[in-house]
Chain A
Amino acid sequence: MIILEDVSKTYSTGAPALNNVSIHIEPGEFVFVVGDSGSGKSTMIKLLLRELTPSSGRIIVNNTDVGRLKHRQIPIYRRNIGVVFQDFRLLKDRNVYENVAFAQRVISVPNRQIRKNVPSVLSLVSLAEKYKSRPRQLSGGEQQRVAVARAIVNKPPILLADEPTGNLDPRTSWEIMKLLEQINRDGTTVLVVTHNREIVNAMRKRVITMKKGIILSDQKKGSYIDEG
Chain B
Amino acid sequence: MGYTFRQGIKNILRNKVFSLATVATISACVFLFGLFYAVVINFQNIVRTAQSGVAVTVFFDEGIEDARIQEIGQEIGKRAEVSRIVFVSAQEAWDSFKDDYLGEYVDTFGDDNPLADCANYEIYMNDVSMQDSLVGYLQTIPGIREVHKSANVANALSNVNSLVAYVSLGIILILFCVSIFLISNTVAIGITVRREEIAIMKLIGATDFVVRAPFVYEGIILGIIGAGIPLALLYYLYDNLINYVLSRYSVLSSILVFVSADEIFYTLAPVAVIMGVGIGFLGSLFTVRRHLRV
B196 adjacent to A106 (CB under 8 Å): no
Residue from B197, B202, B203, B205 in contact with A91 in the complex, judged by beta carbons closer than 8 Å? B197
Nearest CB of chain A from residue B42's CB, rounded to whole Å: 50
A49 adjacent to B206 (CB under 8 Å): no
Question: A187 in the interface, Cβ–Cβ < 8 Å?
Answer: no
Residue from A51, A78, A93 in contact with B205 in the complex, judged by beta carbons closer than 8 Å? A78
Question: A108 in the interface, Cβ–Cβ < 8 Å?
Answer: yes
Please report the C-alpha to C-alpha distance between residue A83 and residue B206 in the assembled complex, in whole angstroms. 14
A76 adjacent to B205 (CB under 8 Å): yes
Please, what's the 1-or-0 string for A69-83, where 1 marks a CB less than 8 Å from any CB in chain B?
Answer: 000100111110001
Residues in A whose Cβ lies below 8 Å from that of B9: none
A75 adjacent to B3 (CB under 8 Å): no
Question: B207 in the interface, Cβ–Cβ < 8 Å?
Answer: yes
Nearest CB in chain B to that of A101: its residue: B3
Please, what's the 1-or-0 string for B183-227, where 1 marks a CB less than 8 Å from any CB in chain A?
Answer: 000000000000011011111111110100000000000000000
Nearest CB of chain B from residue A104's CB, rounded to whole Å: 9
Residues in B whose Cβ lies below 8 Å from that of A77: 205
A79 adjacent to B204 (CB under 8 Å): yes
| Chain A residues in the interface with B (C-beta under 8 A) | 49, 51, 72, 75-79, 83, 89, 91, 93, 102-103, 105-108, 150, 154
A83 adjacent to B203 (CB under 8 Å): yes
Residues in A whose Cβ lies below 8 Å from that of B197: 91
Please report the C-alpha to C-alpha distance between residue A136 and residue B104 in the assembled complex, in whole angstroms. 100
Residues in A whose Cβ lies below 8 Å from that of B14: 93
Near A by CB (< 8 A), chain B positions 132-159 give none
10 other A-B residue contacts (CB within 8 Å) besides A89-B199, A107-B204: A49-B203, A75-B205, A78-B204, A79-B205, A91-B197, A91-B200, A93-B14, A102-B201, A107-B205, A107-B210
Residue from B203, B208, B210 in contact with A78 in the complex, judged by beta carbons closer than 8 Å? B203
Nearest CB in chain A to that of B10: its residue: A93
Please report the C-alpha to C-alpha distance between residue A150 and residue B203 in the assembled complex, in whole angstroms. 11
Please report the C-alpha to C-alpha distance between residue A29 and residue B231 in the assembled complex, in whole angstroms. 64
Please list 7 pairs of residues, one from A and one from B, whose beta carbons are closer than 8 Å in the complex, sorted by A's number: A49-B203, A75-B208, A78-B202, A78-B204, A102-B200, A106-B201, A150-B204
Residues in B whose Cβ lies below 8 Å from that of A106: 3, 201, 204-206, 210
B206 adjacent to A75 (CB under 8 Å): yes
A107 adjacent to B206 (CB under 8 Å): yes
